A and B are shown apart, each in its own frame.
Chain A
Amino acid sequence: MKLSEILKNGIIKNNPIFVQLIGMCSVLAVTTSVQNSLAMGLAVTAVLVGSNFVISLLKNVIPDDIRIPAFVVVIATFVTVIEMFMKAYAQPIYQSLGIFLPLIVVNCIILARAEAFAFTNGLVPSIVDGIGTGLGYTVAVLILGTIREVFGAGTFLGIQVISNPIGILVMPAGAFIVLGILVALFKIIMARQEAN
């Protein structure tokens, strides 16, 4: 498989959020603002690239029977390191992501990529797969975050753009409904493209 294809697969064809529908907890929770979405997207991408890299590197060392606990250890290490650095250099963002930062550990996307891709593929494709899937996640949370912040809070990156926002969109209910509609739209667009 060509590298560009791996990248495209991660972002569009196998988009973790819109197509595979995994790793939803953080998606729904952190998309109340564009800034949070971007930070979460980058954190998830960093963990994905890191864990894919290490797991692909260790694929001949890790015995099959204990691969899942080994993956979890690798992922948890990356998550904790990123958490520490965020706490030190980006404290406000660290505060607003809250518990969802450590919970990246149990984000099914990362474990799924480790199991389905990195454990059986070479170093370079694994890194590219990490970047592709990470970008797919980031794009999805950014779309959701933009819609919710602009129409829900009336701001974009904190700057006022709309005077009478629809408050429900930034509340938990809004997260479910907006994501539901986005998934449906994505389905329609993909179906159209396939028909062409």
Chain B
Amino acid sequence: MELGKILLSTILVNNYIFARFLGICPFFGVSSKMETSIGMGAAVTFVVTISSIITYFIQMLLDKFSIGYLQTIVFILVIAALVQFVEVAMKKISPTLYNALGVYLPLITTNCVVLGVAILNIQEKYTLIQTTVNAIGASLGFTLALVLMAGIREKLVIADVPEALEGFPIALVSAGLMSIAFLGFSGLI
């Protein structure tokens, strides 16, 4: 598949939130404010891209020793270690960036987008370049969903919503409506 198509597909058509249901927890967790969603989006983009590239090489090693069954356990440990490392490195290199993104980093280990993208890259047999493009597309799609949702939720706070639907339920229903809107992109590829 051409790179542009992968990018378009992961951002709009097969959006990781609205079509693949990966990364739902942070999606609802931090999408109540615009500022935090941009921060989370940036942190996820950073980690997903790096971890996809690293896991690509790790998979080569696993295949070489034919221990593919260790994939899940090795990937999650690598991601956890990577997140820790990024946190420490960011603190030293760019304290400003750390102050902006630092709080989101620990949350990323259990964000299924990271492990999900890593495993899907392998399943789809992507090359290194396709892997990178897919990772960037996935996280941009995640960020887009997060930011759009934050825009809606900031308005929802002042809306007159039935008591039982307040908070999480109405956010879910809104996400459902957005998912229908994203269906419109499916003709693109």
Contact = CB atoms under 8 A, between A and B. Distances in A.
Contact residues of B: prevailing secondary structure: helix
A25 B21 contact: yes
Given A23-B25, A25-B23, A102-B72, A173 B111 contact: no
A130 B70 CA distance: 25
Given A25-B22, A25-B23, A28-B21, A103 B112 contact: yes
Nearest to A83: B72
Nearest to B180: A173
Contacts of A168: 180
Nearest to B161: A184
Given A25-B22, A83-B72, A106-B114, 17 more contacts: A21-B168, A22-B25, A76-B76, A99-B120, A99-B123, A103-B112, A103-B116, A168-B180, A171-B183, A173-B18, A173-B176, A175-B21, A180-B165, A180-B173, A184-B162, A184-B164, A187-B164
Contact of A175 (B23, B114, B162, B176): B176
A69 interface: yes
Interface in A18-69: 21-26, 28-29, 68-69
B116 A172 contact: no
A191 to B, nearest CB: 8
Interface of A: 21-26, 28-29, 68-69, 72-73, 76-77, 79-80, 83-84, 99, 102-103, 105-108, 111, 168, 171-177, 179-181, 183-185, 187-188, 191
Interface string B92-127: 000000000000000001111011100110010000
A184 B18 CA distance: 21
29 contacts: A21-B28, A21-B168, A22-B25, A23-B25, A25-B23, A25-B24, A25-B112, A28-B21, A76-B76, A102-B119, A103-B116, A103-B119, A105-B72, A105-B73, A105-B76, A105-B115, A106-B111, A108-B110, A168-B180, A171-B179, A172-B179, A176-B172, A176-B176, A177-B172, A181-B169, A181-B173, A183-B169, A184-B162, A185-B164
Nearest to B171: A180
